[in-house]
């Protein structure tokens, strides 16, 4: 009813027990193009749709490498994503320098979760307007986390955020029980399949607008763009053709 | 009964004409919207249980814990915003650590509860911050034995034998009041806590949920720990069986009416 009275800053609760500024920040995440993440017993994969402001411009970066064992995909305000990824990179480096070991993924995401929570509690600050899917591999295996502007961090077998991501989530929910035993190649194709469900009518995934990232027990954090994504997109088409002929 | 606080509810540094601080009451609403958390203090230990409502089947079971440890002998279960909970637990850890570095002893329950209460209360004094949207249930064993405290968004903290917060707190409190807590052992309490969480859970509204259970007792070396897998499984079985029995009782009564 009196929505506009309670939505001016992050230090005001609404009568229903929500903080509207945090909810609005989550809307910014929904404006970003979709990203998908999923994990098997040994690897974690990210797949993202890139947008380009116009034909002459390059496509924006959706997947960012944090360290050899960790990477993130972003949806929302890219500049906020830069701030968080710089912070993560510094923490990852510090872990190596101080403790001589790679930063455990769970700790990394909790650190940015705590950072984001402060922005939801003090006057004069705004919540981060970006959602992240954080992937990493450490001593406890492969991990996929979602970070949201509220500071809440959750661990998933597979997830998707960004525009029209519900379709991807539905696809992932239908198949997630098979992810554990998939090979890296199958996992990437499965991710692309879920990602494709977020594309609007008439648009396709192609080597220009697709970005793939993965990390695993035997694979350092790797990002594929452009022509490097073509083999996987081809496998995606082959899979469809096979299904059609059955 | 809710009265609209129009005009007096925009800032935590404003009283309403009838002496209420509405921003704190709204923070309490955030707690009331979350999954139920309960604590039981019994003869030989303390048990914490949380109804972890899951919004997706894709969530990894056993992750995204809502019961945290703040000092080896202190467990914290929370109802409300998880990100605020993490902030509070971080503070509790700092307090416990600092106390230990000064006094070379584990921080007693009533002192950590007071420190937490004061910290939470500080966020209800200034318009530049907002109150925490969390009720934390602290389980602690110190030289006075097992203890249980709950800290609410207003900063109020009270010692309890049994307490509940969150959506199902009314149903949970009714069940807890029926128990003879001074006579139960931790093993019994674990089963009762599971049963109460399952009973307070609203199947219609939130289909997916996971039970999280932790204890401080002799079996855990008087340290706070999540219960071992076999104890958890036994507790869940007991809870599910009680739910079925309640359903059977309802069926029997219908037959008698015929």
Strands (DSSP E) found in A78-129: none
Six token digits for residue A234: 């081809």
What is the CATH classification number for the domain harbouring B217?
A: 3.60.20.10
Instruction: Report the pLDDT value the prediction gives residue B1, as an integer from 0 to 100.
Output: 39
B57/A176 CB distance under 8 A:
yes
Q: What is the pLDDT of residue A2?
A: 56
Tokens of B79: 């109802």
- Which pLDDT belongs to residue A243? 65
Find tokens 């769970």 and name the residue: A106
Nearest CA-CA distance, residue B118 and chain A, Å: 17
Minimum-distance CB partner of B23 among A13, A114, A116: A13
**Token pair of A105, please?**
């993924």
Chain B contact probe: residue of A3, A121, A159, A178 with most B CBs at under 10 A: A121
Question: What is the spatial distance between Cα B47 and Cα B253, in angstroms, rounded to a whole number?
Answer: 34
Domain coverage including residue B61? 22-250
* The predicted structure's pLDDT at residue B102: 97
**Residue B137 resides in a domain:** yes
Average pLDDT value for residue range A223-231: 94
Asked if pLDDT for residue A33 goes beyond 90, the answer is yes
Residue A218 DSSP code: T
Section A13-18 average pLDDT: 91
Burial class of A87 by CB neighbour count within 10 A (0 to 12, 13 to 18, 19+): middle
Preferred mutation among B11, B22, B23, B26 to probe A, highest tally of A CBs within 10 A: B26
Output A238 or A98, whichever has higher pLDDT: A98
DSSP B149-195: EEE-TTS-EEE-SEEEESTTHHHHHHHHHHS-TTT--HHHHHHHHHH
Query: Residue A244's pLDDT is what?
Result: 61
Residue A238 in this model has a pLDDT that exceeds 90: no
Please report the pLDDT score of residue B250 as a whole number: 62
> Do A72 and A64 meet the contact criterion of CB atoms below 8 Å apart?
yes
Touching check for B229 and chain A: CB below 8 Å? no
How many folded domains does chain B comprise? 1
Nearest Cα neighbor of A144 from A100, A191, A101 is A191
pLDDT at A128 over 80: yes
Min Cα separation B149/chain A (Å):
23
The reply to whether A9 falls in a domain is no
Taking an 8 Å cut-off on Cβ atoms, the answer to whether B9 and A159 are in contact is no
pLDDT bucket at A11, cuts 50 / 70 / 90: confident
Structural domain includes residue A100 = yes
Q: With CB atoms and an 8 Å threshold, state whether A13 touches B130.
A: yes
In total, how many domains does chain A have?
Answer: 1
Instruction: Give me the tens of pLDDT residue by residue for chain B, a chain 258 residues long.
Output: 345 667 888 888 889 888 899 999 999 999 999 999 999 999 999 999 999 999 999 999 888 899 999 989 999 999 999 999 999 999 999 999 999 999 999 999 999 999 999 999 999 999 999 999 999 999 999 999 999 999 999 999 999 999 999 999 999 999 999 999 999 999 999 999 999 999 999 888 878 899 999 999 999 999 999 999 999 999 999 999 998 887 776 666 555 554
For residue A152, which residues of chain B lie inside 8 Å, CB to CB?
Answer: 81-83
In a domain, B9, yes or no: no
Cβ-contact A112, A7 below 8 angstroms: no
B76: phi then psi, degrees, rounded to nearest 5: -130, 120
B5 interfaces chain A, CB cutoff of 8 Å:
yes
Chain centroid to Cα B111, Å, comes to 19
Mean pLDDT in chain A?
93
Q: Is residue A5 part of a domain?
A: no
Residue B258's pLDDT is 47
* pLDDT at position A124: 87
Decide: helix, strand or coil at residue B63: coil
Average pLDDT over residues A55-73: 92
What's the pLDDT band for A246 if we cut at 50, 70, 90? very low
Other Cβ atoms closer than 10 A to B125: 13
**At a CB cut-off of 8 Å and minimum separation 6, what does B107 contact?**
B71, B74, B95, B96, B99, B100, B142
Average pLDDT over residues A118-140: 93
In a domain? residue B97: yes
- Is residue B14, in this structure, part of any structural domain at all? no
Range of the domain at A150: 20-240
In angstroms, the CA B111 to CA B70 distance is 13
- Does the residue A143 lie in any domain? yes
Locate the chain A residue with the closest alpha carbon to B59: A156
Minimum distance, in Å, between the CA of residue A156 and any CA atom of chain B:
4
Residue A133 in any domain: the answer is yes
CATH number where A125 lies? 3.60.20.10
Shortest CA gap B11–chain A (Å): 7
Is B181 inside a domain boundary? yes
Mean pLDDT confidence for A203-215? 94
**Has residue A11 been placed in a domain?**
no
The question of ipTM being above 0.85 is answered as no
Measured between CA atoms, how close is B242 to chain A, in angstroms? 30
């Amino acid at each position: 009813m009196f929505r506009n009275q309670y939505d001016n800053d992050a230090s005001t609760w609404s009568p229903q027990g929500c903080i509207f500024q945090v909810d609005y920040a989550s809307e910014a995440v929904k404006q970003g193009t979709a990203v998908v993440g999923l994990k098997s017993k040994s690897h974690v994969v990210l797949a993202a749709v890139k947008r380009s402001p116009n034909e002459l411009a390059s496509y924006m970066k959706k997947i960012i490498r944090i360290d050899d064992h960790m990477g993130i995909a972003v949806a929302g305000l890219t500049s906020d994503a830069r701030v968080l990824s710089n912070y993560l990179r510094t923490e990852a480096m510090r872990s190596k320098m101080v403790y001589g070991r790679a930063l455990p993924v769970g700790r990394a995401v909790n650190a940015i979760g705590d950072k984001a929570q402060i922005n939801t509690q003090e006057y004069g600050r705004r919540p981060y307007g970006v959602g992240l899917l954080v992937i990493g591999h450490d001593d406890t295996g492969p991990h996929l986390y979602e970070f949201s502007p509220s500071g809440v961090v959750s661990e998933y077998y597979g997830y998707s955020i960004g525009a029209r991501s519900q379709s991807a989530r539905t696809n992932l929910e239908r198949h997630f029980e098979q992810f554990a035993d998939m090979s890296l190649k199958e996992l990437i194709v499965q991710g692309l399949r879920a990602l494709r469900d977020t594309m609007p009518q008439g648009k396709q995934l192609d080597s220009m607008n697709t970005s793939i990232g993965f990390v695993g027990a035997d694979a350092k954090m790797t990002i594929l763009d452009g022509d490097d994504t073509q083999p996987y997109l081809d496998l995606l088409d082959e899979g469809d053709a096979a299904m059609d002929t059955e | 009964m809710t009265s609209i606080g129009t005009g007096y509810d925009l800032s935590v540094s404003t009283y309403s004409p009838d002496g209420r601080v509405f921003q704190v009451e709204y923070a309490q609403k955030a707690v009331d919207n979350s999954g139920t958390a309960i604590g039981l203090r019994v003869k030989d230990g303390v048990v914490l249980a949380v109804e972890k409502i899951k919004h997706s089947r894709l969530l990894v079971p056993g992750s995204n814990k809502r019961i945290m440890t703040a000092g080896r002998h202190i467990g914290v279960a929370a109802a409300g915003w998880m990100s605020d909970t993490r902030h509070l637990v971080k503070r509790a850890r700092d307090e416990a650590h600092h106390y230990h570095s000064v006094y070379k002893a584990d921080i007693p329950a009533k002192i950590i509860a007071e420190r937490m209460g004061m910290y939470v209360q500080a966020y209800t004094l200034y318009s530049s911050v907002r109150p925490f949207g969390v009720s934390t249930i602290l389980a602690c064993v110190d030289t006075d034995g097992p203890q249980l405290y709950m800290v609410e968004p207003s900063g109020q903290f009270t010692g309890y034998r049994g307490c509940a917060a969150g959506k199902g707190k009314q149903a949970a409190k009714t069940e807890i009041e029926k128990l003879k807590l001074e006579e139960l052992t931790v093993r019994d309490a674990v089963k009762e806590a599971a049963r109460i969480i399952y009973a307070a859970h609203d199947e219609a509204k939130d289909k997916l949920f996971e039970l999280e259970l932790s204890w401080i007792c002799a079996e855990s070396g008087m340290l706070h720990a999540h219960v071992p897998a076999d104890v958890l499984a036994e507790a869940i079985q007991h809870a599910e069986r009680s739910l079925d029995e309640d359903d059977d009782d309802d069926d029997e009564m219908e037959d008698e009416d015929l």
